[in-house]
Amino acid sequence: MHKPKSITRRDILKAAAATVAARSALHGIPAVAQPKGERPAQTSDVTVLNPQNRVPVSFIIDDSTCLVNLAYFGIPQFHEVFPDRYKQDWRSLPREIPDAFVRKFGEWCREHGVKGKYSIVPYPACVGWMDRYLPGWSKKELADSLKLVRELMMPDWDIHPEMISHTRVIDTKTGRPFPEASEQFMENWGWSQDKSADELTDYMAYALRILKNVGLPCEGITTPGGFGGRNRENLAKATLESCRDVFNAEIPHYFRDLFTDERSVAPLVQYASGLDGDNPKCVVSVIGCTGDWFGGWDGLVPGSVDKFITEDLQGGRLPQVIDKGEPAILVCHWPGIYYNGEEIGFNIFKEVYRRMHARYDNLLWMKNCEIARYWAARELTRIDRQARRITFTAPFGTPRFTIRTRARIEKTPKLMATGKPTLPLRRVNAPLRLEPGTCHTNGREMTLCFDLPKGKCTLML
């Protein structure tokens, strides 16, 4: 029986016909089921819903970094390995994506409540180091660019490394690229496919430490191209260990896959362990739901709003996902958003945003780490019920925890947790008015929203 193809992000970036065949060497590899790890009991009397009973939405930006246009510097390196595949006119691209555009984009997104993930490639295309210097830019220009990311982007965006260079594999013992320029020594392709979890952890930690040096904390990692596509178990384990080691991240997450077919795009909570102890662990795979239909990875072929959501607001990929209640995580690449200074990808995103919010009033913009945390709490919290008492034992806390259950409505529900004051849950008259500390009744069903603390708490109905 033919297995459905696992589409990597690079596979769907059909920016040019010559590029399609080579964008990822892993095209067509089926997704591999990975161990979930421990799962606690949850009473059938309680259903965990989306946060605030809304649909999470997020925006993933790949191939971004400070100042360097990764397409301009990366295409020649891809061409050296695959000369018959990478024939884009890279010299026509700008070498820089200026901070003025980062500010314009970031301020628009903040004004409109947009949240997501923004990559900072630590050693972009081997041009220079984020924690040292970038040849071609002054020390002050790099410092100002990093400051802009810290102050404008970080509050609303997760910062991820996209491995180290996004092009050549780096020898972590020397900090230099391996001398062989081949498919086997490119981050996008062969090198990662046979490495142990420890070897991948060392590589990821190297990237994370560079960002730590410049004050950019990370709870997750983005894979460049096909990185780890045939080595998913070790990729997940390495994400867990490297993010915990360098940043003490409680719930590491990673972006590796996107699906644009009928498969679920709900986050995958993997390798859960120690849930009853003082050191619970898990890692979350965050899954995109769209292709890059903005301006592509190289910023050479414009995209289409209608692929996301049509003008009549009925068709396109986003309604398919949102109507199922799964997180709608859009995917793009920074050179295509800037698009040669014409901002074509940015303008497409503005119209996608307008159409989404014209159709839906139940969307909740979240960072990737917030979605990962919610799904970890959703799947790993033990839930017991005895009469009017519901007890939650949570290895990980999360804001906006939302449940539905059958209950009488005479009394005000109260949340009780050790060391915290009792919290009465205020009634609201519409489901979309739910926020932490509130509840809504519909007949004998009650929906309750509260900030779930780590450890044990009790809800009295």
Among residues 355, 374, 393, the one where a domain terminates is 374
Residue 384 contacts residue 298 (beta carbons within 8 Å):
no
Give domain status of residue 1, yes or no. Answer: no
* pLDDT at 26 (0 to 100): 33
Based on the fold, state whether residues 291 and 338 are members of the same structural domain: yes
H-state helical runs in 153-196: none
Among residues 358, 374, 390, the one where a domain terminates is 374
Among residues 335, 352, 374, the one where a domain terminates is 374
CB burial of residue 411 (10 Å; 0-12, 13-18, 19+): exposed
* pLDDT at 32 (0 to 100): 54
Based on the fold, state whether residues 368 and 319 are members of the same structural domain: yes
Give domain status of residue 43, yes or no. Answer: no
Based on the fold, state whether residues 416 and 350 are members of the same structural domain: no
Based on the fold, state whether residues 197 and 131 are members of the same structural domain: yes
Give domain status of residue 338, yes or no. Answer: yes
CATH number, domain with residue 407: 2.60.40.1180
Based on the fold, state whether residues 287 and 400 are members of the same structural domain: no
Give domain status of residue 46, yes or no. Answer: no
Give domain status of residue 44, yes or no. Answer: no
Based on the fold, state whether residues 313 and 412 are members of the same structural domain: no
Q: How many CB atoms lie within 10 A of CB 276?
A: 10
CATH number, domain with residue 198: 3.20.20.370
β-pair type (55-62, 363-365): parallel
Q: How far apart are CA 373 and CA 332, in angstroms?
A: 23
Q: How many CB atoms lie within 10 A of CB 226?
A: 25
Based on the fold, state whether residues 342 and 400 are members of the same structural domain: no
* pLDDT at 19 (0 to 100): 32
Give domain status of residue 4, yes or no. Answer: no
Q: How far apart are CA 29 and CA 369, in angstroms?
A: 27
DSSP 292-353: --SSTTTT-S---HHHHS-TTSS-SHHHHHHTTT--EEEEEEHHHHHTTTT-HHHHHHHHHH
Residue 203 contacts residue 234 (beta carbons within 8 Å):
no
Q: Domain containing 131: what range? A: 9-38+54-374
How many structural domains comprise the chain?
2
Cα–Cα separations (whole angstroms), residue 13 to 8, 250, 256, 290: 9, 33, 15, 11
Based on the fold, state whether residues 288 and 342 are members of the same structural domain: yes
Q: Can you list the residues of the chain whose pLDDT is less than 50? A: 1-30
Based on the fold, state whether residues 169 and 245 are members of the same structural domain: yes
